[in-house]
Amino acid sequence: MKGFEYLQKQLEEMKSEGTFRQLIPLESAQGSRVTIRGKEVIQLSSNNYLGLTSHTRMKKSAEEAVREYGAGTGSVRTIAGTLKMHENFENKLAEFKHTEAALVFQSGFTTNQGVLSSILTNEDVVISDELNHASIIDGIRLTKAARKVYKHVNMESLEQALKESMDYRTRLVVTDGVFSMDGNIAPLPEIVELAEKYDALIMVDDAHASGVLGENGRGTVNHFGLDGRVHIQVGTLSKAIGVLGGYVASTQTLKDYLIHKGRPFLFSTSHPPAVTAACDTAIDVLLEEPELIDKLWENTKYFKKGLETLGFDIGISETPITPVMIGDDGLAHKFSDQLFEEGVFAQGITFPTVQRGKARVRTIVTAEHSREELSEALSAFEKAGKKLGILS
Ligand SMILES: *Cc1c(COP(=O)(O)O)cnc(C)c1O
């Protein structure tokens, strides 16, 4: 069919650059080992930090919810699709996050879109870290607010932007809690200090910190002892929590407002019972099985040390996200392919997800990995690295 030649042309360019990628279907459940193209490999590319996607208690509560409440909800939350379990879960989440209220969206992506697009007008300004997640960038695109971008985690740059913003009604500083490509943690104590000095609000997106940082995985705000000083905490239920969804934890006022104005919340159907029931159980697991988070961090330390000892450049990460910096886009994908040959699944990440020249293979260990699996993975990195001349 005619009509998409200009798209086809761009795809051809990607193919000649070596950046065209096929989707890679898993032929098994998500886990520390997965089957891909008939081969069992060690999974190092998932966000399943705590192994909750297939935790026995999670599966059990999802199954029970399907049996009792069915496969779907049949409506958006604001018409006929709010189940009692949705409300119970939000209350539990708010208590867990030490906030007044919480509201669940269909995904972390739509949470950022819905929150940013609805709370800001042309009287306001949003001040955003340059490496914030795509969903924050898109949320900002949907507002009529003025925009300022500050240099990545650079507090002089943030302060400058705040100084230039004093004429607006509201200044909203937005940052990822943990940056998803480099694994570094936002300097929240400094951000809070500046925001308080310039009378600004703060929104933190804890997608990669929920279930990972803070007491029982409460996130970066709790990690830094800043409970009550960050106005809006966004997070995902799709990474460490192991299911699907996003949430905003904040005041009752913001929750009530978003129920009326948060467009993805208003115009997209609510989560199926199995999703909400499993998310609810995930909070219990975080509270009752803290050893999972301990194991995640032990594995993280072991794996980072191993990669470093082999001679890889692992960037500036402070979290389980560990990039192996490669540089060239094509080489990053080749390295990933070679790792697969050696029995490890670790995806190359290239432009436009990261800057040109900063291509990498990004790894995330989980609490599910055994020491043997991680040691096997390190051998694979060594072999593949030597084969491609990344290691001498
Ligand atoms: C993954 C991610 C999201 C999106 O979350 P989903 O629940 O997968 O839609 C939002 N923000 C950040 C920082 C993320 O890493």
Centre of ligand 1 to C-alpha 125, Å, is 23
Pairwise CA distance, residues 1 & 240, whole Å? 42
- Extract the runs of DSSP E, i.e. beta strands, from 302-376: 321-327, 344-345, 348-349, 359-364
Q: Can you give the pLDDT at residue 141?
A: 97
User: What's the distance, Cα to Cα, between the start and end of the chain in Å?
Assistant: 50
pLDDT tens per residue across span 186-210? 999 999 999 999 999 999 999 999 9
Ligand 1 site, residue 205, Cβ cutoff 6 A: yes
pLDDT tens per residue across span 2-39? 889 999 999 999 898 777 888 999 999 999 999 999 99
Is the pLDDT confidence value at 60 over 90? yes
Ligand 1 site, residue 176, Cβ cutoff 6 A: yes
pTM above 0.75, yes or no: yes
Say if residues 367 and 295 touch (Cβ distance below 8 Å).
yes
Q: Work out the burial of residue 224: count CB atoms within 10 Å of its CB; fewer than 13 is exposed, 13-18 middle, 19 or more buried.
A: buried
- The best mutation among 45, 104, 113, 135 to test binding of ligand 1, ranked by most ligand atoms within 8 Å of the C-beta, falls on 135
Centre of ligand 1 to C-alpha 96, Å, is 20
Is the pLDDT confidence value at 101 over 90? yes
- The best mutation among 133, 184, 212 to test binding of ligand 1, ranked by most ligand atoms within 8 Å of the C-beta, falls on 133
Determine the average pLDDT of the residues in 255-259: 98
Ligand 1 site, residue 208, Cβ cutoff 6 A: yes
Specify the residue with its C-alpha closest to ligand 1, atom 5: 108
Residue 212's alpha-carbon distances to 70, 93, 338, in angstroms, are 31, 15, 30
Is the pLDDT confidence value at 223 over 80? yes
Is the pLDDT confidence value at 59 over 90? yes
pLDDT tens per residue across span 310-320? 999 999 999 99
pLDDT tens per residue across span 119-155? 999 999 999 999 999 999 999 999 999 999 999 999 9
Q: What is the mean pLDDT of the chain?
A: 97
Centre of ligand 1 to C-alpha 207, Å, is 5
Ligand 1 site, residue 93, Cβ cutoff 6 A: no
Pairwise CA distance, residues 244 & 236, whole Å? 7
Note if the bond before 352 is cis, omega within 30 degrees. Answer: yes
Specify the residue with its C-alpha closest to ligand 1, atom 14: 207
Centre of ligand 1 to C-alpha 108, Å, is 5
Ligand 1 site, residue 246, Cβ cutoff 6 A: yes
The atom of ligand 1 lying closest to the CA of 208 is 15
Q: Can you give the pLDDT at residue 256?
A: 98
Ligand 1 site, residue 107, Cβ cutoff 6 A: yes
Pairwise CA distance, residues 307 & 322, whole Å? 9
